Structure 1
Amino acid sequence: MSLPPLVAPGPALTAAEVERYSRHLLLPQVGVLGQRRLRAARVCVVGAGGLGAPVLLYLAAAGVGRIGIVDFDDVEVTNLQRQILHGQADVGRAKVDSARDAVLAIDPALDVVVHPVRLTPATVDAVLGGYDLVIDGTDNFPTRYLVNDACVRLGIPEVWGSVFRFDAQVAVFWGRPPAASAIAPVQLRDLFPAAPPAGSVPSCAEGGVLGALCGQVGSVMATEAVKLILGVGEPLLGRVLVLDALASRWSEVPLRGDPGREWPTDGRTDDVAAMSDDVTPADDVAPADAALPAISARELAALLAAPDGFALIDVREPAERDIVAIPGARSVPLGGILDGSALAGLPRDRPLVLHCKSGVRSAQAGLALRAAGFGDVSHLAGGVLAWVDDVDPSLARY
């Protein structure tokens, strides 16, 4: 069903705006009144990455008057394969600054508000509270739940998208719609009731993502945002759009909200808070655990001078090893350690040193091996990234 327009019309369009948006004005579903709504709209995009990039560009081109950009990261060369807001010259810059420049290059008259912050339960409501609509283009579960819970508390609709490898999902959530409306509440927790344990689901940094897929999905998300602002068409409320890019097939999954689900009243009282206030992608920071010793990259290099005394185990996926590998490491992916299928092939008569990309998965694997009775287990602090930085800078980072 169509919803009422989310935003009241703004001031009359200028002659220059009529010319700029003439192709919109020709659409009966948009017209002059609709374009005035877009000009008055305030939309916050969380994440200026793979999904946020096309969303921001199309919102700017559509004439959304105020665009908020939330991101705490800097542009890296690995981003350029899919994050089309940023170019080679932006590497090392704050993503919010690069994104703001790209948006203003489309239309200097837009009001762009940057939020160079890491969202936490203590800050998320204040950042999102001044907007009519939130678009979540983030790539980690803690932030997705944090943002959606805040939108439910604040009564703000949210456009949500997710991509991994060749697969994607898009939906619209409105967990606390206006009381006078006929909208059935639905939120992220109706689709995924709880966040998975940290490290249990691979990130795009571990499994990869097709760059062009981000463009497809981001365009759908931007379209859903425009539909909500204008009150036209049938939004993806109560439906999840699923894309299998390899099969070139879209499908749809119905989603019904739980009428008994309580509103999240405080971001510090649920499982998001348990992930800590410093919400971070799972592969960025290893958990502290005194029971599992860690060695530095330089210490590992010294050990490799006499490799017969230990076994070096790479718990990453094979495709990651094709990018960069530490000489002498044996491939035993994390999944085989966690499900026990790889344990029989691991030596118990000598020390094991585990490594992954940054230290998270190797710590997880090490604790699992300890629980399975392996006595002498340690892991490489900082993973292969530390090896590249401290031992062999000629190797590639990813």
Structure 2
Amino acid sequence: MNAGFSSVSAFSRNIGWVSAAEQLALGGARIAIAGLGGVGGAHLLTLARLGIGAFHISDFDRFEVHNFNRQAGAFMSTLDQPKVEVLARMAADINPEADIRTFPAGVTQDNVDAFLNGVDVYVDGIDFFAMDARRMLFRACAERGIPALTAAPLGMGVALLYFKPGGMSFEEYFCLEGQSRQEQFARLMAGLSPAMLQRTYLAAPEAVNFGEQRGPSTAMACDLCAGVMGTAVLKVLLKRGPLRPAPWGMHFDAYRQKLRFTWRPLGNRNPLQKLLLAFIRPRLHMK
């Protein structure tokens, strides 16, 4: 029993933008989120407030001071606490009736079946540089017919990609197989951001160093990601209107107040992407 809590009341203000029947359907959905840092934690809390009823969440990291600029669970009171435990508490504080299953060791080949078991949608929140885990999870989703979405925080904007079951896969789009780790990072960046709307206002280029696996971030981008992701998940779950899958991408930049839709048949093998990669590689400080 959760005294004072009513799921009907808690999510009643969603009604209007969704129907009462759709709100019930959201309550019966199960979402998997890997990574609970900048975007993953914000995704979880946004989807919890949407009334999603069940989550599988994973992260092996703990909160540190350098997380404060953008991560939803980062506070003085949560320093050195496991991210998965902190975010599970926060989501349960929004909906104490939610079924929240935690994977504190992250997602591996040993537990990916359990992580994706019964899941309706996979939401990517993994750190940009965790390439092996990201590839493994998107491949597992494709094999199981699970819709998979990623919303990348770029500058002060968001880039969304949707990998629809039966459509273009993550690997077909990014073309990472057989590439060096440094080249994989370049291809991930190019594939996430074909429009490169953020490129014109990077104030300190030296802050981007892929060799040291670090780059700048903003809370605004993470919050935009959560809003765009929450809406995309709603559309997938409720089959509410079109959502363009890869090789389509969407990039909105709040700083430049621009929206771009990109279409890249062949993914990073597309001639436009080859030109973009030639532009990106020397600027990533990958040594």
| Pairwise TM-score range, normalised by the shorter structure | 0.7 to 0.9
Residue ranges of structure 1 left out of the alignment (5+ in a row): 1-14, 177-184, 259-333, 339-360, 366-398
Structure 2 residue 191 is the aligned partner of structure 1 residue 198: no
1:27-66 alignment to 2 at 5 Å? 27=17, 30-66=18-54
- 1:166-194 deviations in Å (ceiling 9; x for gaps): 45421111243xxxxxxxx1222232111
Whether the aligned pair in 2 keeps the contact of 1:186 and 1:256 (CA below 8 Å) is no
1:273-352 alignment to 2 at 5 Å? none
| Greater helix fraction, Structure 1 or Structure 2 | 2
Show the counterpart of 1:214.
222
- 1:174-231 deviations in Å (ceiling 9; x for gaps): 243xxxxxxxx12222321116532454459522112211110121011111111111
CA distance in 2: counterparts of 1:126 and 1:104, whole angstroms? 21
Instruction: Pick the aligned partner of 1:224 from 229, 232, 251.
Output: 232
Whether the aligned pair in 2 keeps the contact of 1:70 and 1:116 (CA below 8 Å) is yes
- 1:311-360 deviations in Å (ceiling 9; x for gaps): xxxxxxxxxxxxxxxxxxxxxxx969x8xxxxxxxxxxxxxxxxxxxxxx
CA distance in 1: counterparts of 2:91 and 2:170, whole angstroms? 28
Show the counterpart of 2:258.
249
Whether the aligned pair in 2 keeps the contact of 1:224 and 1:236 (CA below 8 Å) is no
Amino acid at match of 1:243: F
SS of residue matched to 2:20: helix
Show the counterpart of 2:70.
82
Instruction: Pick the aligned partner of 2:159 from 164, 169, 175.
Output: 169
CA distance in 2: counterparts of 1:86 and 1:167, whole angstroms? 21
Instruction: Pick the aligned partner of 2:12 from 22, 28, 33.
Output: 22
- 1:37-95 deviations in Å (ceiling 9; x for gaps): 11100001111011112211111111111011111111111112111123221111111
SS of residue matched to 1:213: helix
Residue ranges of structure 2 left out of the alignment (5+ in a row): 186-208, 268-280
Whether the aligned pair in 1 keeps the contact of 2:45 and 2:91 (CA below 8 Å) is yes
CA distance in 2: counterparts of 1:219 and 1:53, whole angstroms? 12
For residues 33 and 257 of structure 1, do their structure 2 counterparts lie closer, same or farther at Cα, with a shift above 3 Å needed?
farther
CA distance in 1: counterparts of 2:42 and 2:263, whole angstroms? 26
Show the counterpart of 1:96.
84
Larger radius of gyration: 1
Show the counterpart of 1:135.
123
Instruction: Pick the aligned partner of 2:61 from 57, 73, 76.
Output: 73
CA distance in 2: counterparts of 1:172 and 1:66, whole angstroms? 21
TM-score by length of 2: 0.75
CA distance in 2: counterparts of 1:19 and 1:163, whole angstroms? 32
CA distance in 2: counterparts of 1:119 and 1:208, whole angstroms? 25
CA distance in 1: counterparts of 2:10 and 2:244, whole angstroms? 29
Whether the aligned pair in 1 keeps the contact of 2:64 and 2:74 (CA below 8 Å) is no
CA distance in 2: counterparts of 1:113 and 1:122, whole angstroms? 16
Whether the aligned pair in 2 keeps the contact of 1:164 and 1:207 (CA below 8 Å) is no
CA distance in 2: counterparts of 1:142 and 1:167, whole angstroms? 25
Cα RMSD, aligned residues only: 2.7
Higher relative contact order (CA 8 A, sep 6+): 2
Q: How many positions carry a matched residue from both structures?
A: 241
